[in-house]
Structure formats: structure tokens, C-alpha cells
Amino acid sequence: MKRSGVCLCLVVLLAACGSLKQQSDTRPELNGVYRAARAIEGALAVGVTYQDFSTLVREFSKELLLARDSARYNSAPKLISSTLDKYAEVLAMYKDSEQVWSLEVREKKYDDALPGLAAKYGVPQAIYQPKDHPYDITVNFEMIRQAIWEQASKLHEQQIPIVYGYTPRK
């Protein structure tokens, strides 16, 4: 009798567990942009080609557009909207790095946008122009890209607690 009671309890327990829906551990409205940003960071960590990086940036852009549509039509809380704005900043950074990388891939030695981008990301020394040879400009494309990627990663890291449901303290 005891044995059948234990078996019955196990059957009921297993049936109840089987009917539970697995819940996502991230906020569903942010899941796509979070995963797209992490995909870029993961690719950068192991090495990625310019072409693959461009594809990942486009995927991130698509996920951000979809998330913004969802937030707009589903009356998302202000926290979600502001987090999506931060992800838009991360995307803009990755687009800037894509622009820098594109110039390098095309073997363009210099572009008027480079000094502004280098200064914006705190590495104006990545562009060297000797005073005695003003046309011998040297650009450290890698330094600019790395600075951009570092700032993008830091901004993304600040959003992760929100993605996982933690609200920032005021």
C-alpha cells in the first residue's frame, strides 16, 4: 500500500512538472537584441572576418527594429524603451567600427571621418600626421576599432542586469 502511494505521488509530481512551461530567464522584449549583441561580442572574442562582422551588425539592427516595434505596440514600460535606446547606441558604435574596418579593407589610407571617429572614442593618437610631411598620414585602424568595441561592450554590460529582470537603483 505504501509503495503504491509513493508511486502515485511520483506520477502526479512528474505530470505536474511536465505541464509547467519553461520560462525564459530574460525579458522577452529584450531577448533578441541581447542575443545579437552577445553574438557580436562572441565573434570578436574568437576572431571574425569583416564580412561576418557586417552580417552580425545587420542582424543586430534587425533585432533592434523588431524589439522597438514590439515595445511601441505592446506599451512597453519606460525601462524597456530606455534600454532599447542604449542598445541603439551600442549598434551605432558597431556601425562606426564597421565604417573604420571598411576603410581598412578597401585599403583606403585616409578618410575625413577618421579623425572625428578616433577622437569620439578617445584615441586621437591613432591618426598620425607628421608636420614636415602633411600628406604622409598613418592610421592605426586596429586601435580605433578596439577602442570602439571596448566602449560598446561596456555599454552593453550595463544593460545585462535589465535584460535579466533586475531594475537599476535610483
Look at the chain and report how many structural domains it folds into: 1
Question: From the DSSP assignment, how many helices (H) and strands (E) are in the chain?
Answer: 6, 2
Residue 71 lies in a domain: yes
Q: Is 118 within the bounds of a domain?
A: no
| Domain-located, residue 128 | no
> Is 83 contained in some domain?
yes
Cβ atoms of 146 and 101 closer than 8 Å: no
pLDDT string in tens for the chain (170-residue length): 455 543 434 333 333 333 323 334 678 889 999 999 999 999 999 999 999 999 999 999 999 999 999 888 887 688 899 999 999 999 999 999 999 999 999 988 788 899 999 999 999 999 998 778 767 789 999 999 999 999 999 999 999 999 998 876 65
Q: By residue range, what is the domain housing residue 30? A: 25-108+140-163
Q: Is residue 77 part of a domain?
A: yes
What is the C-alpha separation between 148 and 116, in angstroms, rounded? 13
Rounded Cα distance, 53 and 47, in Å? 10
- Is 10 part of a structural domain of the chain? no
Asked if residue 102 belongs to a domain, the reply is yes
pTM above 0.95, yes or no: no
Question: Would you say residue 121 lies in a domain?
Answer: no
